[in-house]
């Protein structure tokens, strides 16, 4: 009470109180530029809630490791238990295929994904067309299956994309990539909606992916050797590769989006799927969250997979089981994982690959923060 009396008498504040006052004032001063930056960011165009936008603002302003650490704690504390009652049915995906007619010519269809858990549920691993009236040669096929015997309630969704009938486009978002001269509409352009058959999320933001980007033939961020890369060449061919062409842009590359090391390479799982700095500044690889990935099968067709409660390893196994020989991990977390197929021309009747996907199926029909991929029918291909 000595100090209080001294204060009351108009005497000097004790040292510890002055120190506290200095720290409080410093905190208030620091909040001024931070508040200005935050308000500026929040008043920009967004299609996510205030919470997600705030977290993204923190990530983009040096707080990535804080966010990742908090996410690690949260997901570890809320990790699902093994086992549980068996599922009785799988979510309905795609459209009902009409009765098989005698095909005019042999059409390739990927083999059914062999179920892991027995007895298999009706339709488990069976491919269904994503769009109505797309028979006999649907450009996109969808299926679901239970991917982990220890967690029999988890369902993975997989999409197969016919590379002969479609071409892949990389679409920059409103905020990602951050530095870009010609950003575009950050949504499926209205002029191309007649040909869009599917859209899906991109990879990690550049600042967390330890990786590079080539867009419209120009290097936006220096490419990194050894990193998994979705690449489209100027002749329209798409591939998922491990990049070994240096930092610059080879003349035949139209776009190349990198993200972390490959999770499957030459048919085998990456032997180093544990945690390490090469896996980006994000939640640990063993943490079970929504994860997504893109692979390529031995015939050059793309395979997209996503599911909740996945580790990097379990996601890689989903893609491998579906037939991927090379694969890259894409975005993670429920806010960023989306695969949307359009059941009718004109981007009509959009549907998420899995019903529990958090973002609405209209996500890429309005400007989106993040970059994404759009799958269009090639010119001359009928719906």
Least distance CB 50 / another protein (angstroms): 15
Output 58 or 269, the one with its CB closest to another protein. 58
Output 18 or 164, the one with its CB closest to another protein. 18
Least distance CB 316 / another protein (angstroms): 31
Output 37 or 366, the one with its CB closest to another protein. 37
DSSP string over 183-195: ---SS--GGGTTT
* Nearest residue to 242 (alpha-carbon basis) of 221, 222, 255, 256: 256
Residues that bind another protein (CB under 8 A): 4, 9-13, 18, 20-31, 33-35, 37-38, 57-63, 65-66
Least distance CB 36 / another protein (angstroms): 9
Task: Tell me 217's DSSP state.
Answer: T
Least distance CB 177 / another protein (angstroms): 18
- Residue 279 to residues 39, 164, 276, 326, 330: CA-CA distances in angstroms? 32, 32, 6, 17, 12
- CA 66, 64, 188 angle in degrees (round to 5)? 140
Task: Judge whether 192 and 152 are in contact, CB under 8 Å.
Answer: no
Peptide bond between residue 136 and the one before it cis (omega within 30 degrees of 0): yes
Least distance CB 18 / another protein (angstroms): 6
Q: Quote the tokens at residue 3.
A: 């100090």
Task: Judge whether 301 and 158 are in contact, CB under 8 Å.
Answer: no
Q: Please name the residues in contact with 311: beta carbons below 8 A apart, sequence gap of 6 or more.
A: 273, 285, 286, 287, 288, 291
Output 12 or 267, the one with its CB closest to another protein. 12
Least distance CB 63 / another protein (angstroms): 4
For residues 263 and 227, what is the distance between their CA atoms, to the nearest angstrom?
10
Task: Judge whether 264 and 325 are in contact, CB under 8 Å.
Answer: yes
Least distance CB 104 / another protein (angstroms): 59
Place of tokens 């679901």: 144
Output 18 or 268, the one with its CB closest to another protein. 18
Output 34 or 79, the one with its CB closest to another protein. 34
Would you state the torsion angle of the CA atoms of residues 270, 240, 383, 144, taken in this order, to the nearest 10 degrees?
10
Output 1 or 89, the one with its CB closest to another protein. 1
Output 57 or 215, the one with its CB closest to another protein. 57
What element of type H or E holds 322?
A: helix 312-322
- Residue 233 to residues 168, 227, 259: CA-CA distances in angstroms? 10, 17, 18
Least distance CB 209 / another protein (angstroms): 17
Task: Judge whether 157 and 305 are in contact, CB under 8 Å.
Answer: yes
Task: Judge whether 306 and 291 are in contact, CB under 8 Å.
Answer: yes
Output 62 or 119, the one with its CB closest to another protein. 62
Helices (H) and strands (E) in the chain, counts: 6, 18
Output 66 or 92, the one with its CB closest to another protein. 66
Task: Judge whether 368 and 173 are in contact, CB under 8 Å.
Answer: yes
Q: Quote the tokens at residue 19.
A: 């120190």
Least distance CB 67 / another protein (angstroms): 9
Least distance CB 68 / another protein (angstroms): 13
């Amino acid at each position: 009470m000595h100090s209080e009396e001294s204060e009351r008498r108009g005497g000097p504040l004790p040292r510890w109180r002055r120190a506290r006052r200095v720290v409080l004032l410093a905190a208030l001063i620091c909040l001024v530029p931070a508040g200005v930056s935050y308000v500026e960011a929040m008043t920009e165009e967004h299609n996510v809630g205030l919470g997600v936008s705030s977290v993204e603002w923190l990530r983009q302003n040096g707080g990535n490791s804080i966010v990742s650490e908090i996410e690690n704690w949260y997901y570890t504390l809320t990790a699902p238990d093994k086992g549980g009652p068996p599922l009785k049915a799988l979510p309905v995906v795609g459209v009902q295929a009409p009765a098989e007619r005698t095909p005019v010519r042999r059409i390739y269809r990927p083999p059914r994904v062999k179920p892991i858990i027995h007895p298999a549920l009706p339709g488990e691993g069976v491919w269904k067309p994503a769009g109505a009236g797309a028979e006999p040669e649907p450009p996109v096929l969808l299926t679901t299956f239970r991917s982990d015997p220890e967690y029999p309630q988890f369902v993975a969704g997989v999409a197969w994309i016919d590379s002969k009938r479609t071409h892949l486009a990389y679409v920059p978002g409103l905020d990602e990539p951050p530095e870009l001269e010609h950003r575009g509409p950050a949504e499926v352009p209205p002029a191309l909606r007649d040909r869009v058959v599917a859209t899906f999320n991109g990879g990690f933001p550049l600042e967390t992916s330890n990786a590079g980007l080539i867009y419209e033939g120009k290097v936006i961020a220096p490419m990194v050797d050894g990193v998994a890369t979705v690449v489209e060449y100027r002749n329209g061919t798409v591939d998922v590769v491990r990049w070994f062409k240096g930092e610059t842009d080879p003349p035949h590359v139209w776009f190349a989006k990198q993200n972390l090391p490959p999770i499957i390479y030459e048919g085998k799982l990456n032997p180093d799927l544990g945690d390490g700095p090469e896996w980006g500044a994000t939640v640990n690889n063993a943490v079970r969250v929504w994860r997504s990935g893109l692979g390529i099968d031995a015939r050059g067709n793309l395979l997209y997979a996503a599911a909740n409660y996945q580790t990097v390893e379990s996601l890689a196994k989903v893609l491998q089981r579906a037939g991927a020989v090379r694969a890259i991990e894409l975005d993670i977390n429920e806010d960023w994982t989306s695969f949307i197929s359009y059941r009718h021309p004109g981007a009509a009747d959009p549907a998420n690959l899995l019903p529990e996907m958090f973002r609405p199926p209209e996500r890429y029909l309005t400007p989106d923060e993040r970059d994404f991929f759009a799958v269009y029918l090639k010119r001359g291909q009928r719906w």
